[in-house]
Structure 1
Amino acid sequence: MTDVLSTLYPWIKAFHIMSVIAWMAGLFYLPRLFVHHVEQSDNARIEETFRMMEKKLLRLIMNPASIATWVFGLCLVFTPGIVDWSMVWPWTKAAAVLAMTWFHHWLALRRKDLEKGTNKVSGRQYRMMNELPTVLMIVIVLSVVVKF
Structure 2
Amino acid sequence: MLWIKAFHIIAVITWFAALFYLPRLFVYHAMSKDKISIERFKIMQRKLYRGIMTPSMILAVALGTWMVVDAWEIYQTQVWLHAKLTLIVSLIVYHFYCGHLMQIFKQDKNTRSDIFYRWFNEFPVLILIAIVILVVVKPF
Q: Report the TM-score when normalising by structure 1.
A: 0.90
The structure 2 residue matched to 1:104, chosen from 83, 91, 95, is: 95
C-alpha displacement of 1:79: 1.6
Residue 71 (str. 1) matches residue 62 (str. 2): yes
The 4+ residue runs of structure 1 with deviation greater than 2 A are: 80-85
CA positional deviation for 1:82: 7.8
Does 2:29 align with 1:11? no
Distance 1:58 1:82 in 2: 35
Across the aligned residues of Structure 1 and Structure 2, the Cα RMSD in angstroms comes to 1.2
Structure 2 equivalent of residue 116 of structure 1: 107
Q: Find the aligned partners of 1:121 and 1:86 in 2 and give their Cα distance.
A: 43
Deviates more, 1:95-104 or 1:118-127: 118-127
Describe the SS at the equivalent of 2:77.
coil
* Structure-2 residue corresponding to 1:131: 122
Amino acid of the residue matched to residue 28 of structure 1? Answer: F
- Give, as a single letter, the amino acid of the residue that structure 2 aligns with 1:91: H
Query: What residue in structure 1 maps to residue 24 of structure 2?
Result: 32
Gaps of 5+ in 2: none
Q: Helix, strand or coil: the match of 1:20?
A: helix
Does residue 90 (structure 1) correspond to residue 81 (structure 2)? The answer is yes
SS of 1:72's equivalent in the other structure is: helix
Aligned length: 139
1:62-119 CA distance string (max 9 Å, x none): 0100000010000010122685222320111011101110110010000000000111
Contact in 2 for aligned 1:89/1:147 (Cα 8 Å) = yes
Structure 1: state its 5+ residue gaps. 1-8
Contact 1:92 1:139 in 2 (8 A): no
1:20 matches 2:20: no
CA contact (8 A) 2:20 2:121 kept: yes
Distance across 1 between alignment mates of 2:54 and 2:105:
18
Alignment correspondent of 2:71: 80
Name the % identity. 37
SS of equivalent to 2:70: coil
Tell me the distance in 1 between the aligned counterparts of 2:58 and 2:46. Answer: 17
Give me the TM-score of the superposition, normalised by structure 2. Answer: 0.95
Give the one of 112, 133, 136 matched to 1:142. 133
Shift of the 99–81 alpha-carbon distance from structure 1 to 2, 3 Å rule, reads closer
